[in-house]
Amino acid sequence: MSYLLMRSLRSLCFSAVFCLVMPFSTARGAEAEKLNVVYSSIAAVSLSSWIPKDAGIYKKHGLDVNLIYVAGSQAIATLISGDAQIAQGSGAAAMLSRLSGAEVKLIGNIINVIPMSFVTTPDIAGPQDLKGKTFGVSRFGSLTDVGLRKAVSEWGLDPNKDIKVIQTGGVPENLLFMQQGLIKGALISSPTLEKAKELGFKEILNLGSLKYRYPGTALVTTDAFIKNRAQTLNRFLKATLEGIKFAKTNPDFTVKVLGKYTRTTDAKLLDSAFHTYVLGYIRDFPTVSAEEVETALEEIAARNPKAKGADLKSFYDSAPLDQLAKEGFVRQLYPR
CATH number of the domain at 76, please: 3.40.190.10
Q: What are phi and psi of 204, to 5 degrees?
A: -80, -40
Interatomic CA distance for residues 160 and 88, integer angstroms: 27
Structure-derived torsion over alpha carbons of residues 133, 136, 137, 138, reported in degrees to the nearest 10: 160
Interatomic CA distance for residues 275 and 92, integer angstroms: 26
* Structural domain total, the chain: 2
Q: Which of 109, 98, 95, 137 is nearest to 45 (CA)?
A: 109
Query: Would you give the end-to-end CA distance of the chain in angstroms?
Result: 29
SS3 content of the chain, % helix, strand, coil (to 5): 50, 15, 35
Interatomic CA distance for residues 65 and 21, integer angstroms: 20
Sign of CA pseudo-dihedral 208, 195, 90, 331 = negative
For each of the chain's 336 residues, which pLDDT tens digit applies? 444 444 444 444 444 444 444 444 444 456 899 999 999 999 999 999 999 999 999 999 999 999 999 988 899 999 999 999 999 999 999 999 999 999 999 999 999 998 899 999 999 999 999 999 999 999 888 889 989 999 999 999 999 999 999 999 999 999 999 999 999 999 998 888 989 999 999 999 999 888 888 998 999 999 999 999 999 999 999 999 999 999 999 999 999 999 999 999 999 989 999 999 999 999 999 999 999 999 999 889 888 889 998 999 999 999 999 999 999 999 999 997
Residues 241 and 316 in one domain: yes
pLDDT at 29: 54
pLDDT at 250: 98
pLDDT at 336: 76
Residues 106 and 11 in one domain: yes
List the domain range (segments joined by +) for residue 158: 117-209
Residues 221 and 271 in one domain: yes
pLDDT at 142: 85
For 116-167, write each residue's pLDDT tens digit: 999 999 999 999 999 999 999 998 888 899 899 999 999 999 999 999 999 9
Cα-based angle 318, 51, 275 (whole degrees, multiple of 5):
90
Residues 63 and 139 in one domain: no
Residues 108 and 131 in one domain: no
Residue 168: what residue type?
T
CB-CB neighbours of 183 under 10 Å? 23
Total number of residues shown for the chain: 336
Residues 257 and 192 in one domain: no
Residues 130 and 274 in one domain: no
Q: Do 143 and 110 meet the contact criterion of CB atoms below 8 Å apart?
A: no
Interatomic CA distance for residues 318 and 305, integer angstroms: 26
Residues 233 and 107 in one domain: yes
pTM for this entry: 0.82
186, 209, 232 — which closes off a domain? 209
Q: Do 126 and 162 meet the contact criterion of CB atoms below 8 Å apart?
A: no
Residues 102 and 238 in one domain: yes
Interatomic CA distance for residues 208 and 282, integer angstroms: 12
Residues 232 and 311 in one domain: yes
